Chains A and B, each alone.
Chain A
Amino acid sequence: MPETTKMTKDITFHVRRYDPMKDKEPYMQSFQVPVTPGMVVLDGLHHIKENLDPTLALRYSCRMGVCGSCGMLLNGTPTLACNTQILDIATTDLTVAPLPNFHIIKDLVPDLMPMLEKHRAIHPYIHREKPEELNDTTGEHYQTPEQLEHYLQFTYCIKCGCCMAGCPTLATDSEYLGPQPLTQAYRYNADTRDGGRAARNEVTGDTHGAFRCHYAGECSRVCPKGVDPAKAVQLLKRQLVFDYLHLAQKQTPCELLHGPAKGEKMPNIPTAPARTAGV
């Protein structure tokens, strides 16, 4: 078997450190990290924690860009440490800092709770007139693939906070809802199964709601999942204006799907998957 050798290159990691028990303000600390092609920033931080300084605090979980735990400011751009190759963004030096616009708990660990509280405030779930349809459902809801496309893009949000870190409005207005919650508000408003648009408008149309966004576009530029929050927020603003002027088309939430009770199946049609609701 041929022996493969990988070129190792030393990269200086400049890591922003902060220990609430000792430090008044964050400071920068440098570490030399041997980097081979394929290493992601999270690997480099693990190297520091395991070999150079075990006190370094960072948050991570899945290591594959799904959980959204390892959002950091890498060379001035908010992104995920687990899916950013070191050699793609650094030749000699790499600056690693916690996400801005959040409080720092320790080192690279931001406090995401304010974002999650705002997320909760916009009713991030399907509203139905009859709550039993959700709690004890008897069937699926009608929704066409075209209707699904109206909101599918915004369901990929992993709540990493990168969009919130990039938002310049949040930098000066901590009460502003921010791109993540507003995107999720549009995601549920655009869902034909939902009937909670009026309740969400109360929150998103408020002083610190959607109209505080002035399209800096940074949220969409830095989103590691391609969710495009800036687009969702602009579409949400249109909804709010149309609702305010009573120009929006009246929409009633789609009904429960009830399969055919009788009838014969056409030949050569495969059996449908087993029902998941109302069984």
Chain B
Amino acid sequence: MADLKRYDNRLGIWGWIGGGRWGIDRYAYALHRITGLGILSYFLMHIIVTSLRAMGIYLWVEGQFFHKPLFRIGEFFVFAAFAFHAFNGIRLFMVEMGFAVGRPIEPVYPYQTSLNVQRPLFIAMMALAAIFFAAGGWEFLQYMAK
């Protein structure tokens, strides 16, 4: 039989958030990956910048780029990404160890899934992330106002 031509209907990176009507956990999934990549990029830049010191380049002295508002705002985004990634990571660790997903049940319509069981944990972790975000935001605002 001749090979049939087929169309590859995989969504690619667009599939993380687009291509359909999805639930909130999928957006948390996408944001977790994006913040993870952001923190990793920051970590790599941090190593590069600190290693510049060995070459005699001091970027963090008064009046240099690291004291400009643009960098401070960027730092706040890193902090916000850390707050989300850390608390969502705790939730994921607990869920992936099977602690907050419930026991197998008889599926009776309307179906109750593990998403419903872990929802209080999700809300609690997002609330903690929001508290960290707000406290950090206040600190950054005070620094910017100086």
A interface residues, Cβ below 8 angstroms from B: 18, 20-21, 25-26, 73, 75-78, 98-105, 110-111, 149-154, 156, 166, 168, 170-172, 174, 190, 213-218, 220-221, 223, 225-228, 230-232, 234-235, 237-238, 241
Which 5 residue pairs of A and B lie closest in terms of their CB atoms, listed nearest first?
Answer: A171-B15, A226-B107, A226-B111, A76-B21, A217-B25
The interface residues of chain A lying within 8 Å CB-to-CB of B13 are 171-172
Using a Cβ–Cβ cut-off of 8 Å, how many residues does chain B contribute to the interface with A? 44
B23 touches A101 (CB 8 A): no
List 11 extra interface pairs beyond A153-B107, A223-B111, CB under 8 A.
A18-B7, A98-B9, A100-B10, A171-B12, A172-B15, A217-B23, A218-B22, A218-B23, A221-B115, A226-B111, A235-B104
Contact B6 A103 (CB under 8 A): yes
Whole-angstrom distance between the Cβ of A173 and the nearest chain B Cβ: 9
Residue of A nearest to B94 (CB): A234
- By the criterion CB–CB under 8 Å, are A100 and B20 in contact? yes
Q: Which residues of A contact B4 (CB under 8 A)?
A: 20, 105
Contact of A75 with B26 at beta-carbon distance under 8 Å, contacts A174-B10, A217-B115 already known: no
Nearest chain-A residue to B22 (Cβ)? A218
Given A103-B7, A174-B10: A235 and B15 interface contact (C-beta under 8 Å): no
Measured CA separation A62–B107 after assembly (Å)? 21
Report yes or no: B98 in contact with A238, Cβ–Cβ below 8 A.
Answer: yes
Q: Are B101 and A227 in contact (CB under 8 A)?
A: no
Q: Does B51 contact A (CB under 8 A)?
A: no
B32 at the interface (CB under 8 A from A): yes
Nearest-Cβ distance from residue A228 to partner chain B, whole angstroms = 5
A63 to chain B, nearest CB (A): 18
Q: Is B86 an interface residue (CB 8 A)?
A: no
Q: Which residues does chain A contribute within 8 Å of B126, judged by CB atoms?
A: none
Among the interface residues A26, A172, A190, A241, which one has the most CB atoms of the partner chain B within 10 A? A172
Interface residues of B in 73-99 (CB under 8 A from A): 92, 95-98
Measured between C-beta atoms, what is the minimum distance from B93 to chain A in Å? Answer: 10
Q: Does A168 lie within 8 Å of B7, measured CB to CB? A: no
A to B CB contacts below 8 Å, 9 in the list: A76-B21, A99-B9, A153-B107, A168-B29, A216-B28, A223-B111, A226-B108, A230-B115, A234-B95
With contacts A153-B104, A237-B97 taken as known, whether A226 is within 8 angstroms of B109 at the C-beta atoms is: yes
Is A220 a contact partner of B113 (Cβ separation < 8 A)? yes
| Complex CA distance for A101 and B104, rounded to whole angstroms | 27
Q: How far is the CA of A102 from the CA of B97 in the complex (A)?
A: 30
CA distance A255 to B14 in the complex (A): 50
- Asked whether A235 lies within 8 Å of B101 as measured between CB atoms, the reply is yes
CB of B7 within 8 A of CB of A214, answer no
| Closest Cβ–Cβ distance, residue A87 to chain B (whole Å) | 17
Cα(A229)–Cα(B73), bound, Å: 41
Q: Inside 8 A of A21's CB, which chain B residues have their CB?
A: 5
Which residues of B sit under 8 angstroms from A216, Cβ to Cβ?
22, 25-26, 28-30
In the complex, B11 has a CB within 8 A of chain A: yes
Closest Cβ neighbor of A219 among chain B residues? B113
Q: Say yes or no: is B102 at the interface (Cβ < 8 Å to chain A).
A: yes
* Docked pose: A153 CA to B16 CA in angstroms: 27
A231 x B104 contact (CB < 8 A): yes
Query: Are A26 and B26 neighbours in the complex by a CB distance under 8 Å?
Result: no
Q: Tell me if B108 and A20 are in contact (CB < 8 A).
A: no
A215 to B64, CA, bound (A): 43
